[in-house]
Amino acid sequence: MRAAVVRNEAVMNEPAADAIVEVRGISKTYGGVEALRDVDLDFPRGKLTSLLGPSGCGKTTLLKIIAGLIDADRGSVVVNGKKVSAPGPERAFVFQDFALLPWATVLRNVAFGLELRGTAKEEREAIARRYVADVGLAGFEDKYPHELSGGMRQRVGLARALCVDADVLLLDEPFSAVDEQNRRKFQEDLIRLRTNQNKTFIFVTHSIEEAVYISDRIVLLSPRPGRVSRIIEPDIDRSGDPDRIHRDKHYLDTVEEIWQGLKQYVE
Amino acid sequence: MTLFGYRVPMMASLLVWCVLWEIVGRLDLMFILPPFSDVLVAAVDLVQLPSWQGATVTTLRAFLIGMVLAICVGIPLGMLMGRVKIADDLLGMWVNIFSSAPLSAIVPVLMILFGFGEKTIIAAVFLFAIWIIVLDTRAGVRHISPSLIEMARSYGAPRWALYGKIIVWAALPEILAGIRLGLIRGVKGVVIGQLLVAIVGYGALFETFSRNFRMSQFWALTIILFAFALVVSALIERAEAKVEFYAGVR
């Protein structure tokens, strides 16, 4: 088995072969605190890239800048070759706290992105039903969010993002409000969904294990100011039994290696 | 509530007070408190009088127009204050002053502006009802989780959809509570307006009954008004119950 490919600063800025999202010189300061400084990053098409780092490293800020929800002070975000500064249909966001409409059923929540785009009711509900089933919630279409567990609510959030058929899915710590058992199951399902969906995922997490478990590429951010410190491409075969990954020597080595790198930032 | 193992119906406490009123009334201690049965008889007579029917139409009209105006102005104003900081800074102080001020003192001033007529009474209802609607709507809008707004933006919601599909619904429990409290204050407003300014409608009836010491009719009218306020707020409470399922889990 090959070792993890660790890129250093020298080759980091070299554009990837087919980058769907390009981040160029992004800086952001919040009330005197420098959240991000000169971040340059490429996100390859069809891959799952994680933004990993301790709290305060600006990973969520960077994700929201890519989403167009926060304006950067300097720099630009290019998606599919076009510069963007606002949310657009080629990107869909999955929220840490789910952000579901509590007064709407699962089906309406999943279809909500299409509803905002003016898709006819029957058409959007047909599409939504398919994705509700895809994320494993068939039979729960008419339930309300408060009747679901945390894990199920985030499945609704994920189905809503899949429903609008965006090229890039932006996930902001989607499992942090989900209990441990459900999180594991959800991570497995995400690996399966990825192979079927052929989309680009950008995933923010503070869990090293989670990042190594699901990512093709891990971007380590250092805190205050947030900068790219390393990019790691774990070479893990995810085709077989997902439980095997957790015992894979290479998986364990990569987790350990990242932890050694991040240790210095943890007080 | 249960008492000695029996379930006591909801309005039972009211019955206890009615009986107590009847006893005190029959003891003939105070002329202002006739027996409750006399008041009921007076109420039955009262509702058959053309003067009562006319007064009710006048009063209801002014109340409804005033309330509709208060709701139509109050909700957008509350939303504006909840969403735009500058509007909140500019208006917040005044809304708070008006919501706690003794508004009865302002009613005679309204008379100068609107004259001796229905307009003044409508203005009184509006002034009594609007502030709590503004404050509750503002609180409801403030309460909305920022990620819900971000979600709408990230899926490209136009401004009307952000308000029509997210903000109104998310703040609805507070808005309805504001309307319910506003209605009760509006009932106060209509009577005070009629008493202080133009002696018409229920104000005129109250004036006549109390000046001529017709206490049973006076109490009958009070009870009718009280029942009206209760029924109206119960109707809004039913609407509130419909949104209750998500009020606690927003």
Inter-chain CB proximity B154 and A93 less than 8 Å: yes
Tokens found for residue A5: 């490919």
CA closest to A100 among chain B residues:
B148
Q: Which tens digits make up the pLDDT trace of A121-136?
A: 999 999 999 999 988 8
Task: For the beta carbon of residue B236, count every other beta carbon within 10 angstroms.
Answer: 18
Inter-chain CB proximity B154 and A164 less than 8 Å: no
Closest partner CB to B243 (pick from A103, A113, A145): A103
DSSP per position, B181-213: HHHHHHHHHHHHHHHHT---HHHHHHHHHHHTT
For residue A164, give how far its alpha carbon lies from the nearest alpha carbon of chain B (Å): 9
In the prediction, which pLDDT does B74 show? 95
Inter-chain CB proximity B166 and A101 less than 8 Å: yes
User: Which of B154, B249, B250 to mutate to probe the A interface, most A CBs <10 Å?
Assistant: B154
Answer for the pair A134, A193: CB distance below 8 angstroms, yes or no.
Answer: yes
Examine residue A181 and state whether it is found in any structural domain, yes or no.
no
Statement: residue A3 has pLDDT above 50: no
Closest partner CB to B156 (pick from A102, A117, A146): A117
Torsion of CA A175, A176, A182, A183, to 10 degrees: 60
Which CATH number fits the domain that encloses residue A15?
Answer: 3.40.50.300
In the prediction, which pLDDT does B123 show? 92
In the prediction, which pLDDT does B198 show? 59
pLDDT band for position A8 (cuts 50, 70, 90): very low
User: Which of B145, B148, B149, B151 to mutate to probe the A interface, most A CBs <10 Å?
Assistant: B151
Count up the domains in chain A and report the number. 1
Statement: residue A149 has pLDDT above 50: yes
Per-residue pLDDT of chain B (250 residues; tens, 9 = 90+): 676 777 776 677 888 888 888 888 888 777 778 888 888 898 898 888 888 888 889 889 999 999 999 999 999 999 999 999 999 999 999 998 888 888 888 888 888 888 878 888 899 999 999 999 999 999 999 989 999 999 999 998 888 999 999 999 999 999 999 999 999 999 989 888 888 875 778 888 888 888 888 888 888 998 898 888 888 888 888 888 888 888 777 6
Examine residue A79 and state whether it is found in any structural domain, yes or no.
yes
Examine residue A164 and state whether it is found in any structural domain, yes or no.
no
In the prediction, which pLDDT does B248 show? 72
Whether A95 has its CB under 8 Å from any CB of chain B: the answer is: yes
For residue B88, give how far its alpha carbon lies from the nearest alpha carbon of chain A (Å): 22
In the prediction, which pLDDT does A9 show? 42
Examine residue A141 and state whether it is found in any structural domain, yes or no.
no
Rounded Cα distance between A147 and A253, Å, is 40
In the prediction, which pLDDT does A64 show? 93
Helix A150-163 / helix A106-116 crossing angle, nearest 10 deg: 30
CB pairs under 8 A between A and B: 60
The boundaries of the domain holding residue A255 are: 1-90+202-267
Closest CA relative to residue B110, chosen from B204, B197, B207:
B197
Q: Which residues pair with A36 in a beta bridge?
A: A28, A226
Task: For the beta carbon of residue B162, count every other beta carbon within 10 angstroms.
Answer: 17
Inter-chain CB proximity B150 and A93 less than 8 Å: yes
Examine residue A144 and state whether it is found in any structural domain, yes or no.
no
3-state DSSP assignment of residue A258: helix
Closest partner CB to A144 (pick from B148, B156, B245): B245
Q: What is the mean pLDDT of chain A?
A: 85
Closest CA relative to residue B72, chosen from B144, B122, B145:
B122
CA closest to B173 among chain A residues:
A103
Q: Which tens digits make up the pLDDT trace of A22-77?
A: 999 999 988 888 888 899 999 998 889 999 888 778 889 999 999 999 998 999 99
Rounded Cα distance between A233 and A248, Å, is 15
Those residues whose C-beta lies under 8 Å from the C-beta of residue A134, and which sit 6 or more positions away, are A159, A162, A193, A196
Rounded Cα distance between A264 and A246, Å, is 25
Answer for the pair A41, A219: CB distance below 8 angstroms, yes or no.
Answer: yes
Statement: residue A187 has pLDDT above 90: no
Closest partner CB to B161 (pick from A68, A101, A116): A116
Examine residue A258 and state whether it is found in any structural domain, yes or no.
yes
Whether A99 has its CB under 8 Å from any CB of chain B: the answer is: yes
Examine residue A57 and state whether it is found in any structural domain, yes or no.
yes
In the prediction, which pLDDT does A1 show? 40
In the prediction, which pLDDT does A174 show? 87
In the prediction, which pLDDT does B82 show? 93
Inter-chain CB proximity B245 and A146 less than 8 Å: yes
Those residues whose C-beta lies under 8 Å from the C-beta of residue A165, and which sit 6 or more positions away, are none
Examine residue A228 and state whether it is found in any structural domain, yes or no.
yes
In the prediction, which pLDDT does A267 show? 65
CB contacts, 8 Å: A145 with chain B: 249
In the prediction, which pLDDT does B65 show? 96
Helix B168-196 / helix B215-247 crossing angle, nearest 10 deg: 170
For residue A161, give how far its alpha carbon lies from the nearest alpha carbon of chain B (Å): 9
Rounded Cα distance between A241 and A243, Å, is 5
Closest partner CB to A116 (pick from B155, B170, B246): B155
Inter-chain CB proximity A101 and B249 less than 8 Å: no
Query: In this structure, which amino acid lies at residue A185?
Result: K
